[in-house]
Structure 1
Amino acid sequence: MSDDVYTGGCGCGAVRYQAEGRPVAQLHCQCTHCRMRSGTGHASYLVFAGTEAVTLTGAVRVWSLKGDSGTDKHHAFCPVCGIPLYVTFAASPGITAIHPGSMDAPERFAPGFVTYGLRGLDWDRLDAGLTVFDAGPTG
Structure 2
Amino acid sequence: MDAIQVGVMAPDFNLQDGFGKEIRLSDYRGKQVLLSWHPFAWTGVCTDQMRALEVHFDDFAAKNTVAIGLSVDAAPGKKAWATVLCIENTPLVSDFWPQGKVALDYGVFMSNHGCSGRVNVLVDAQGIVKWVKVYALGELPDIDEVLAAL
TM-score category of the 2 structures, normalised to the smaller one: 0.3 to 0.5
The structure with more strand, counted as a fraction of residues: 1
Work out which of the two has the higher radius of gyration on C-alpha atoms and give 1 or 2.
Answer: 1
- Give the TM-score taking structure 1 as reference length: 0.35
The structure with more helix, counted as a fraction of residues: 2
Higher relative contact order, structure no. (Cα contacts within 8 Å, ≥ 6 residues apart): 2
